[in-house]
Each structure stands twice: as C-alpha cells, then as structure tokens.
Structure 1
Amino acid sequence: MHNPEIICSAKDCRAEAVWALRWNNPKLHTPERRKVWTACDEHRAGLADFLGRRDFLKDVVAVGDLAPTDG
C-alpha cells in the first residue's frame, strides 16, 4: 500500500513509511495493546533494534497490513 501521508517515526526523517513496528511497554500497556512506530526502509533496523533491546518489539508488518485498531 502506498500512502505518502504516513511518515517515518525516526527523528528528523520525513520519508514515506513502509513498515509498521508494533510494540508494547508492559509497564505501561495491557498485554494486548500495540503501539505503532512507522519506518522507512533506511530506519527500520535502527528503530527495531531500539525497541528490541527493551523487549518492547512484538512484530513488524507492512504499513498496508496494519489493522484499524493498531496504534
């Protein structure tokens, strides 16, 4: 899905996001809750590493595959 209105969540990046990193902070969110950061191809790995080091990252999907309830 091509949606130029969704931009990358990386600091100072204005590129179109193509990835959705679904995460959860268990200290703040219920287990089923998923927050979403979006990423361009360049920043996907860095954002995933940041979330992964904290054990927050749950999965990565294409932006077009996000469910309406995500976020």
Structure 2
Amino acid sequence: MDQDQPTCSAKGCQQDAVWALLWNNPKLHTPDRRKTWLACEEHRTTLSDFLGARQFLKDVVPVSEVGTG
C-alpha cells in the first residue's frame, strides 16, 4: 500500500483506492454537485450497488481522474 495513494472508503478497508464513485443526494445537494467515495477493486461493486440502490450514483471513474487532495 502506497502512503501517498488515497485509500478505499469501505468501512475498515485500508487498500489503495482505484476507483472514484461520484454521487449526489438530490434531497441535500444541487444537481451539479458531486460527492466522492473511493473504492479499491474489491469494494467497487458493493459501494456502487449501495449508492445505485438509492439512485445517488452518477459516475464511476479511475481515481486518477479526480482530485483527492
């Protein structure tokens, strides 16, 4: 695990993030706002499914495409 690499947002996971899950809760956020969860390969599907079931998930992109700092 790289110390400069952001870590997965899944509870208890310390793996390097590979994916950025861009989401929005329309009851709380303006339509153009994007919140970000980070996911390792193992947790990409479960985190995406969680957000998707609530219709919050807007996009999944490689973590290198978003600013994480």
Aligned residue number for residue 38 of structure 2: 38
TM superposition shift of 1:4: 4.1
In the other structure, the counterpart of 1:7 is 7
Question: TM-score normalised to the size of structure 2?
Answer: 0.90
In the alignment, residue 51 of structure 1 is paired with which amino acid? L
Question: What residue ranges of structure 2 are gaps of 5+ in the alignment?
Answer: none
Deviation of 1:5 (Å):
3.0
Q: Sequence identity of aligned pairs in percent?
A: 61
RMSD: 1.8
Residue 65 of structure 1 is matched in structure 2 by 65
Counterpart CA distance in 2 for 1:3 and 1:53 is 32
